Amino acid sequence: MAETKTKKKEWNATGTFDCLAVTSVQVYPFKEGPSMGHIKGLASIVLNDQFLIRGLRVMDGENGMFVGYPTDPFFKGDEFRSICCPMARNLREHIENCVLEKYQASIA
């Protein structure tokens, strides 16, 4: 049984995640303006045609473009707390690649 769980979390030879895949991406780029800051747009994704995640932020940071995940507006700590985020590095990279490719295509 342990082999089955670890096998689901590994990437297959084609470079896609066995368990989850981004099946739809919608990106809403912002028009450039002096008050926009680091946020360049918003995005929504669908995983496996079954799970919708809204509120992803396309960000421009010190190390380049990245995807920020929705945060809890009611968290009272010093930092932000994400509402949802991928736990596997491979899935995070897959989501980021899909969103940033769609963003680049939408601003071109």
pLDDT in tens, the chain (108 residues): 444 444 444 445 455 556 789 999 999 998 876 666 789 999 999 999 999 999 999 999 999 999 999 988 888 888 888 899 999 999 999 999 999 999 999 998
What is the tally of structural domains in the chain?
1
Per the structure block, which two tokens stand in for 105? 């295509």
Query: Structural domain of residue 80, as residue ranges?
Result: 20-107
Contacts of 43 (CB under 8 A, 6+ apart): 25, 26, 27, 28, 56, 57, 58, 67, 99, 102, 103
Domain membership of residue 101 (yes or no) is: yes
Domain membership of residue 50 (yes or no) is: yes
Q: pTM of whole model > 0.85?
A: no
Domain membership of residue 4 (yes or no) is: no
| pLDDT of amino acid 8 | 43
Task: Specify which residues 60 forms β-bridges with.
Answer: 65
